[in-house]
Amino acid sequence: MKICSKCGLEKELEEFYKGKRYKDGHYTTCKSCINERGKQRLHDSQAHEKHKMVVKLWYENHKDEVQTRGKAYRSNHREQYREYNRQWQRRNPDKCRDKRHARRALGEFPKDFKLMSHCWVCLSTENLQVDHILPVSRGGTNDISNLTTLCGSCNSSKNNLTYSEWFEKRAQRASQPC
């Protein structure tokens, strides 16, 4: 039996979290009081922001230690991680495709790239998308000089062609009789 320093109630030791730094090996505050304080902290945005900053600062000061511990854990639990990753990939096929596409492109996608207000080819303002001038599949990068804005229709018809190939293909289609 132990008395909680917060609520003052006498409770069983199982009602207290374990803590090595305490004389009896248990926190002085009971689990329910600690959980209640956590809930209040979440609802108090200022305290929540302060807590986030403290955690971030701690992580920055202990980054190497955390990464080393994480690597050791992952290497000791390799099969669980592989199975988790397989399940995640089955649940998120779109994200997997996006990750593969991003890995293929050289360089990070520029955060300051803004879509133009219209399609570069047909001047449509609907369903605008980012297009790689030199396709990623042909060695194009995510550099801002290799990006432009196309509507969904133009972008899907361009596929992985260069602009000269695409315009030539469009001209051939237009010149053919129906």
**Strands (DSSP E) found in 78-168:** 128-132, 147-151
Inside any domain, residue 102: no
Model confidence at 106: pLDDT above 60 = no
Q: Which domain holds residue 111?
A: 107-178
Indicate the average pLDDT of the chain: 86
Q: Higher confidence at residue 96 or residue 9?
A: 9
Query: Residue 17: what pLDDT?
Result: 92
> CB–CB of 7/37 below 8 Å?
no
Residue 144 corresponds to which amino acid? I
pLDDT per residue over 5-63, tens digit each? 999 999 998 999 998 888 889 999 999 999 888 777 767 777 778 888 999 999 999 99
Domain contains 71: no
What's the mean pLDDT in 161-166? 90
Residue listed under structure tokens 């300051």? 112
The mean pLDDT of 147-159, rounded to a whole number, is: 89
Domain assignment present for residue 90? The answer is: no
Structural domain count, the chain: 2
Whether 76 is in a domain gets the answer no
* Residue 79 covered by a domain: no
pLDDT at position 104, please?
58
Whole-prediction pTM value? 0.39
User: Rounded to whole angstroms, how far apart are CA atoms 77 and 28?
Assistant: 34
Residue 162's domain is classified under what CATH number? 1.10.30
If DSSP states are collapsed to H, E and C, what string results for 9-75? CEECHHHEEECCCCCCCEEEEEHHHHHHHHHHHHHCHHHHHHHHHHHHHHHHHCHHHHHHHHHHHHH
pLDDT at 49: 84
Type of residue at 29: T
Tell me what pLDDT residue 103 has.
62
Model confidence at 178, in pLDDT bands (50, 70, 90)? low
Which of 67-71, 83-87, 114-118, 141-145 is predicted with the least confidence, judged by mean pLDDT?
114-118
- Domain contains 91: no
